[in-house]
Amino acid sequence: MLEKISNPKDIKNLSIEDLDILSQEIRERIIEVLSKNGGHLGSNLGAVELSMALHFVFDSPYDKFIFDVSHQSYTHKLLTGRNKLFDTLRQFKGLCGFSHFNESIHDHFHLGHAGSAISLALGLAKNRDLLNRDEHVIPIIGDATLTNGLALEALNNIDQDTKKLIIILNDNKMAISKNVGNIKNLLSRFLSNPRSNKIYSELQTLLEKIPNIGKFLANQGKKLTQSVKNLVSPAIFFEHLNLSYVGPIDGHDIKKMIDTFEKVKNSEKPVIIHVVTTKGKGMEKAISNPESYHGVKPFDITTGDFLSKSKLTFPKVFGSHILDMAKKDPNIVVVNPAMLKGSSLVEFHEKFPDRCIDVGIAEGHALTYAGGIALNKNLKVIVSIYSTFLQRGLDNLFQDICLQELPVIFAIDRAGLSGPDGPTHHGIYDIGFLNAMPNMVIVQPRDANVLKELLNSVFNWKRPVAIRYPNMETIEVKKPLKKRKIGSFDILSKGQDILIISIGHMYKTALEVKKNLQSQGLNPTILDPIFIKPLNESLLKDLLETHKTVITIEEHSIKCGFGSIFNNFIIQNNIKDIDVLNFALPDQFITHGGYNDLIEDLKLDAKSISEKILTATLEKTKDYKVNL
């Protein structure tokens, strides 16, 4: 049946029985593709019937669907003509794992972070009204979205006269990890009583049945009904925000959702429909392990077991080492915005729940909150956060930590290309804005040992520190760990004439480049500066006395990364007769795909770098033959 669906109109004449069959085919298709490509599994399995019911009742793309984060939009993709391409999901030059305006007329934004859907929807509704159109605007948010400040700001700004604005609240009681904070209680208290959503109508019916005065009592009973509603329902919260509340309804009952959507379709007021779904529906392992099966790597489609064995990665090194440190030091506190599992902090949180605080999807709050904890400087505070999520708290970083001269440590995970997740998740801009912060220290470890050494040392520096590292495999060597002072460095390989400065994990590429250059009679020195800010200027000046060509290699935007910092150092110190080649990521939005595919396409692989160095070097000698 799925193969016959080329656009959403194809499902509008299907029976409920056929829709149920189609929902099963869609789940099978999602599981099949994600078992090979990886991707967001649990959230998409939970949103199948919901997405189908929306497309059955409304008319995309005229009616606008905005999936918050949009990681749960796979069913939407399958129903909007992308089934034949679905095998390319998250692959290089294939379908995006999120909504993307360049991919389909049914996708109106390229999204990837939580909290923006309601604001975008309000903007679309305003655009519609000013231009005298009449389409529906339908943001689909998760319950975890309500912990995000931007979503609450948007809710606060809803005009009660806004027509054809329908907010779908997909409540599965989960973000990536379990939801935290007080908002979750607002929804869960209603769901704790399965009969509570019937109370309003039952009370009204009961009063009306009283002889002679029933209708009068029913009319006068609104205050009583409201009181009952306050006891068991989140409705009053949303109604104070100018939203008509409907629900909760079963998010896997297609007929019930279709009936509900039809009833509210022409509401004169904005509506929020509370839909309850099961994350991972249709796959037992995904249901019983919602965190592990939120975003999956390839797995055995029969057993559900992941194919790749667990490897030592930078996040795992961070999580295990900071836990070891916390066992010895009761003053260590970690703050994390809803990424405990991804940041390898689950065990820390289980062991020390008072010292490992998950604040939910609230990045700005996480930073300012950490600043408050760090104020008296008796506690050692770490903010564990993904690079692209740190961007959302830029002003909090500046105003509430750096300006206050608070020694908060930032463990910046996913610093570098995010591969299949694409441009919304590539952590390739943080050096730029961190470097702009006075008094900030920026470091990047090349392996597990250096990461541990930095974690052991940072609290002695008494300054804001950013430790950035990628989510990739690393190595660990059993040897004594040394304390690191600001400006410490490692020369990884001695040579002459050419200096290669590699940042973090790019040292492997630098070593490979050296091997290629040695085959052509060149023998560069390789430096791992470890410290991106501040630069060890005396070291660099010494090296530049004997190395007149400098190569910088980093997995960061070329416009604002280490190369820019180094170039500025050259200019500010009026250093002459130095040739510099900066190798970094281009000034463009970088697509999604496998890591190696992206690196080769962006010419940041060892072969491409070596060829360019040789070309530049040989041009000076008028010999243009480059043969690697």
In a 3-state reduction of DSSP, which class is residue 524? Answer: coil
Q: What is the predicted pLDDT for the residue at 294?
A: 84
Q: Is 462 left (phi over 0), alpha (psi -120 to 50) or beta?
A: left
In the CATH scheme, what is the code of domain 2-191+234-296?
Answer: 3.40.50.970
The residues, any chain, with a CB within 8 Å of residue 368's CB and separated by 6 or more, are 393, 396, 400, 401
- CA angle at residue 141 from 198 to 56, to 5 degrees? 75
How do residues 99-140 score in pLDDT, each as one tens digit? 999 999 999 999 999 999 999 999 999 999 999 999 999 999
For 314-468, the fitting CATH number among 3.40.930.10, 3.40.50.970, 3.10.105.10, 1.10.10.10 is: 3.40.50.970
Give yes or no for a contact between 23 and 254, defined as CB atoms under 8 angstroms apart: yes
What is d(CA 251, CA 416) in angstroms, rounded to the nearest whole number? 37
User: Which part of the chain is CATH 3.40.50.920?
Assistant: 490-620
How do residues 474-523 score in pLDDT, each as one tens digit? 999 999 999 999 999 999 999 999 999 999 999 999 999 999 999 999 99
Q: What is the predicted pLDDT for the residue at 435?
A: 97
User: Which part of the chain is CATH 3.40.50.970?
Assistant: 2-191+234-296, 314-468
Considering the candidates 77, 392, 468, 514, report the single residue annotated as catalytic.
392
Q: What is the predicted pLDDT for the residue at 348?
A: 97
C-alpha dihedral sign at 491, 493, 497, 500:
negative
- Sheet of 356-358, strands arranged across: 356-358, 332-336, 380-386, 409-413, 465-468, 441-443, 531-533
At position 337, the amino acid (one-letter code) is P
Q: What is the predicted pLDDT for the residue at 189?
A: 47
Q: What is the predicted pLDDT for the residue at 217?
A: 59
- CA angle at residue 542 from 539 to 543, to 5 degrees? 85
The answer to whether the peptide bond before residue 586 is cis (omega within 30 degrees of 0) is no
Class of domain 490-620: alpha beta
- CA distances (Å), 434 to each of 30, 51, 440, 442, 496, in order? 39, 40, 7, 7, 33
| Encoded tokens for 61 | 């793309």
Q: What is the predicted pLDDT for the residue at 285?
A: 86
| Encoded tokens for 607 | 């072969």
CA atoms within 13 A on the CB side of 171: 22
Helical ranges in 342-490 per DSSP H: 346-351, 363-373, 387-390, 394-397, 430-435, 448-457
Catalytic-residue membership of 279: yes
Q: What are phi and psi of 457, to 5 degrees?
A: -110, -25
Catalytic-residue membership of 363: yes
Q: What is the predicted pLDDT for the residue at 213?
A: 64
- Sheet of 137-142, strands arranged across: 64-67, 137-142, 166-171, 271-276, 244-250
Considering the candidates 128, 279, 285, 355, report the single residue annotated as catalytic.
279
Q: What is the predicted pLDDT for the residue at 308?
A: 77
Is 131 exposed, middle or buried, given 0-12, 13-18 or 19+ CB atoms closer than 10 A? Answer: exposed
Considering the candidates 27, 229, 285, 363, report the single residue annotated as catalytic.
363
What is d(CA 489, CA 334) in angstroms, rounded to the nearest whole number? 27
Residue ranges in the chain modelled with pLDDT below 70? 174-235, 620-628
Q: Nearest to residue 343, comparing CAs of 362, 306, 312, 318? A: 318
What is d(CA 56, CA 305) in angstroms, rounded to the nearest whole number? 35
What is d(CA 547, CA 540) in angstroms, rounded to the nearest whole number? 10
| Encoded tokens for 367 | 């930073």
